[in-house]
Chains A and B, each alone.
Chain A
Amino acid sequence: MVELQGIPVSPGVAIGPALVLDADGYRIPRTLIAADKAGEEYARLRSAVNAVAKQIEANRLETSAVAGDETGDIFSAQLQMLNDPRLNGELRRRITTDHHAAGYAVNRVLRNYALALRRLENPMLAERAEDVLDIEKQLLLQLGAVTEQPLTALTEPVVILSHNLSPSETANLDRRYVQGFCTEVGGSGGHTAIVAKGLELPAVVGVGTFLDSVVNGTRVIVDGDRGKIILDPDAITLASYKQRIEQSQTLSARLAELRDLPAETADGTRIRLSANIEFPHETGSCLERGADGIGLYRTEFLYLSSTEEPSEQDHYEAYSQVVNEMSGRPVVIRTLDLGADKMGHRPLAEQEYNPFLGLRSIRLSLRNLDLFRPQLRAILRAATHGDIRVMFPLITTIGELRQAKMLLTVVARDLKDEGIPHRADIPVGMMVEVPAAVVMLEHFVKEVDFLSIGTNDLAQYTLAVDRSNEYVADLYQSSDPAVLRLIRRGVDVADDWGRPLAVCGEMSSIPGRALLLVGLGVRNLSVPPLALSRIKKAIRSVSLSECQEIAERVMTLDSARDVDVYLLDRLGVLVPELVVT
C-alpha cells in the first residue's frame, strides 16, 4: 500500500482499477530487444513506415478531393516528415545500435522533434509539432505498441491516473466508466478542477511524479475530500473507504430532503442559492437540489467540449435549453471566458509568457468580434424564453465595460433590423474579479444592473498566484484576509447603490466560507450543483447573527490559515455533520 498526498479539487471517494495515461493518452515503456533481433525489429519498423505512408497518401488524395489541393498538401508535408532521412537514420541507430524496441525508438525520436518544434517562438511552426505527434501515433498503432485511445473505448469502471488532464479532456471523460481521477500536476483553482466538480467526479491533482511506479489495473482509491491517493490499499483501508462511500450516500440522501425548503437562516434571512454550470444537461441536477437559478453559466465549455466551433444557432439552442428547463428561474450567462488555460479551436493569441495576464476573457472577446457577436445575438434571442441575464467577465477598466455594453446594443439593433425575435432589455452585470475593479467599483456599479464576485480569479490576481501552478498552490486561498477585505468592500459598494451582488467563485461552495460570506453581507451565492445541498444545510443551521459574529472575528485575523482553522472550528460547532473527518 502506498499513500500519496495531493490537492483535493472535487469531493467524494472513488475506488477502482488504475488506467494510467501519459500526457497524450498513452504511454510507451522503455523496452530493449535482444541484439540478434535488431535486424528483425528494424524490418518491422520499415513495414510500419510503409503502411503509414500508404495511409497518409490515401488521406492526401481524399482530402484534396474534398477540400482542395492546398489542404491536401498538409499530408504531403507529413509524408515528407515520415520519409525524413535524418529521422530514419536516428530510428535505425536506436534500433540496431542501442537495441531499442521500435515503438520506444519512435516514441523518443518523434517526441524530441515535437518538443523542438514546440519550443520555437513562431506559433505556426510550433503547431507542426501536432503533425509529428500524429505520425508518431500512427506508427505506434501500426507497431502494436499502443491500442486505440483507451479513453474512448472504456468498457469497465476505471480510475484515471494521468500527468495532466486538460479541461476539455476532463469534460469528455466517459462518466459511465470513469470513477474519478488523479493528476501529477495542477492546482486547486484550475479549470480542470472546476469541470471535475461539475461532473461530480472525485479528483485529486498536483500529486507530483508518481505514474512511473503504477501498473495499469492496480486498485486505487482517490480521496477527493482530503486530497489522498492510495495505491494498492490494504484490507482495512479499503473497508474503511467503502464505509465512507456508504456514509456519504446516506448523508446525501438526507440532504436531498432539503430540496423544497428555502435557503434561509434559522432566523429567516433568505439567501438566494444558485448553481454554477458548464453544460446544459446540468440543469437537471440543479433542479433536483432545489437551486434558485443559475448564477453562473460558463459558456466557454460550449467551445471546449465540441470538435467544431459553435455557431450562433448552437449557442442559441444551448441557452434556450437551459432557460426553458429552469422554468422561470433566473439564468446568468457569463460571456466567453476563453484564453489562458481554456483554449478553443483556433490559436487565438500567439504564445504568451503570462497568459493569465494576457489576452483572455473579455479582452479576447472584444478583440475577436466574430466570436463574440454570435454569442451576444444568441443570448438576446434566447432571452425571449425566460429570465436571462448577461454578465461580462474579467472587467478591468470602465472602457471595457462600455465597449461590451455598446456591442450588446449594436447587436440588439441588428436583430431588430433583421426582424429576429429577441429581448433588448435584459439585465447586464459584470464579474468583479480583478482588484482594479474592486478599487474603482463606485464607478462601475452605476453602469451595471448587478455584480458577481468571482473569487477564483480575484484571489489569483490579489495574491499574485497562478491558480493552476502546483508550486505556489498553497498560497492560493480565497480565505486570505486580503481577498476578504476586497469582498467586503464589494458588498459595501453594492449595498450603497442598491445593486444585487453575488459570490459565484468556488469559495461559496465551502460551507465555512459560505457562512463567512453571509456574515459579510452577501445575500446571493452560486455554487456547483453538487454543493447546493451542503450549503443550503449550512445556511439553514445558523442564524444571521452567528454569521455576523464569524465575519467580525475573521476580519481581525491576519492569515488564511488562521481564518480556515477558525471557520472549521465554528462549522464543527454549528453544523457538525458537514465537517469532513
Chain B
Amino acid sequence: MNKNSPTRTVTVRNPEGLHARPADLLVRMASNYQSNILIGRDGELVDCKSILSLLTLGAAQGTVLTVSAEGSDAEEALNAIEDLFEAGFDDKNEAPGTESALDS
C-alpha cells in the first residue's frame, strides 16, 4: 500500500473485542468498497475483507487499530469503517453506516 494512502485510527469499543460477529459485520462493510483496505496494529496489517485474518488479530476491547485504504472510494470506505467502530458494532441500535452492510 502506498505511503500516502489515507489512514485512520480506530479503537475497539465493544466489550467482547473484535470477535466473530463484529468481524463479520466489518468484512461485509469493507466488501462494499472497491478499495484495497488494510487494518491492524503497527506493522501487522491484514486484509480487512478477510474474516479469518481479522480474527487472528486477537483485538480485545481498547485495542487501537490503524486502517488504511487505497482505491477510488478509499475515503468513503474509511468513513464507514470509522462509524462502525465508533458505534461499537452495535447493530441493534441501527448505528449509522451499518444498514448497507447488514443488507448485503
Q: Which A residues are closer than 8 A to B by beta carbons?
A: 73-74, 76-77, 80-81, 84-87, 113, 116-117, 120-122, 124-125, 128, 131-132
Contacts and interface: CB of A to CB of B under 8 A. Distances in A.
Q: Most chain-A Cβ atoms within 10 A of its Cβ — which of B20, B28, B60?
A: B20
Contact of B51 (A80, A116, A120): A80
B56 A116 contact: yes
B24 A124 contact: no
25 contacts: A74-B20, A76-B24, A77-B20, A77-B21, A77-B23, A77-B51, A80-B24, A81-B52, A84-B50, A84-B51, A86-B47, A86-B50, A86-B53, A87-B50, A87-B52, A117-B56, A120-B58, A121-B58, A124-B16, A124-B19, A125-B17, A125-B18, A125-B58, A128-B20, A131-B20
A125 B55 contact: yes
A132 B52 contact: yes
A85 B49 contact: yes
B98 to A, nearest CB: 14
Contacts of A73: 21, 24
Interface string B1-43: 0000000000000001111110110011000000000000000
B53 A124 contact: no
A76 B102 CA distance: 11
Given A86-B47, A86-B50, A122-B60, 8 more contacts: A73-B24, A74-B20, A77-B21, A84-B51, A113-B52, A125-B19, A125-B58, A128-B20
A131 B58 CA distance: 16
Nearest to B46: A86
A86 B52 contact: yes
A74 B16 CA distance: 15
Contacts of B47: 85-86
Contacts of A128: 19-20, 55
Contacts of A120: 56, 58
A113 B58 CA distance: 12
Nearest to B58: A120
A74 B55 CA distance: 14
Contacts of B16: 124
Q: How large is the interface on B (under 10, 10 to 19, 20 to 34, 35 or more residues)?
A: 20 to 34
A113 B51 CA distance: 11
Contacts of A132: 52
Nearest to B27: A80
B50 A85 contact: yes
B77 to A, nearest CB: 16
Nearest to B18: A125
Contact of A122 (B27, B50, B52, B58): B58
Nearest to B47: A86
Given A80-B51, A84-B50, A122 B21 contact: no
B50 A113 contact: no
A398 B80 CA distance: 58
A125 B58 CA distance: 7
Interface in B47-84: 47, 49-53, 55-56, 58, 60
Contacts of A117: 55-56
A121 B57 CA distance: 11
Nearest to B17: A122
Contacts of A77: 20-21, 23-24, 51
A125 B17 CA distance: 9
A84 B21 CA distance: 15
Nearest to B61: A122
A185 B27 CA distance: 40
B55 A124 contact: no
Nearest to A129: B55
A52 to B, nearest CB: 15
A39 B51 CA distance: 26
Nearest to A131: B20
B75 to A, nearest CB: 22
A121 B61 CA distance: 13
Of B23, B24, B47, the most chain A CB neighbours within 10 A belong to: B24
A120 B63 CA distance: 14
A84 B27 CA distance: 9
Given A73-B24, A85-B47, A124 B17 contact: yes
Contact of A81 (B18, B21, B51, B58): B51
Contacts of B21: 73, 77
Contacts of B18: 125
Nearest to A70: B21
Contacts of A124: 16-17, 19
Nearest to B53: A86
A122 B18 CA distance: 10
- Which 4 A/B pairs are nearest by Cβ-Cβ distance? A120-B58, A86-B50, A77-B20, A80-B51
Contacts of A76: 24
Contacts of A84: 50-53
B6 to A, nearest CB: 22
A113 B47 CA distance: 14
A224 B17 CA distance: 48
A86 B23 CA distance: 15
Contacts of A125: 17-19, 55, 58
A25 to B, nearest CB: 23
A80 B17 CA distance: 18
B15 to A, nearest CB: 10
Contacts of B60: 122
- Residue with the highest number of chain B CB atoms closer than 10 Å, among A74, A77, A117, A120: A77
Nearest to B22: A77
A86 B17 CA distance: 22
